[in-house]
Amino acid sequence: MSLSIDDIVENFSFLDDWDDRYRYLIELGRMLAPMPEAAHTDENKVRGCASQVWLETHVDRSGPEPVLNFLGDSDAHIVRGLVALVLALYSGRPAREIVATDAMDLFRKLGLSEHLTPQRSNGVRSMVERIRRDAAAAAAGQG
């Protein structure tokens, strides 16, 4: 996916109708970089999501601090869009920035917090916790 988080936020600002926003989320999910079938493992599965969600973390240690990149996938269209949104926020960023970034602020800003079911909100929290945990481990020299 080549859209930055800023592009996505701007695009959301043009969509007043929630059906349009849901369609946009589904479109984001369609644009998500494909995750190899071999990465759909139990180890990559995110616990706490009602739908199946997988996240694969890659740590680049070639620079002065670790940078994390993520691949993600889901078996549900809207959830796949939420995965794309979370990855646009976190992927390609240094570990310390990831740990310091609260995705729930973004979800509130986009109005998603009040439009997601409690199960989907819990799933997003589980994804974010997993990403931030991987980033904290990378920053500490683990993982």
Q: Do 68 and 91 meet the contact criterion of CB atoms below 8 Å apart?
A: yes
User: CA–CA separation, 66 vs 58, rounded Å?
Assistant: 10
Q: Is 77 a catalytic residue?
A: no
- Residue of 25, 35, 49, 106 marked catalytic: 49
User: Annotated catalytic sites, by residue?
Assistant: 49
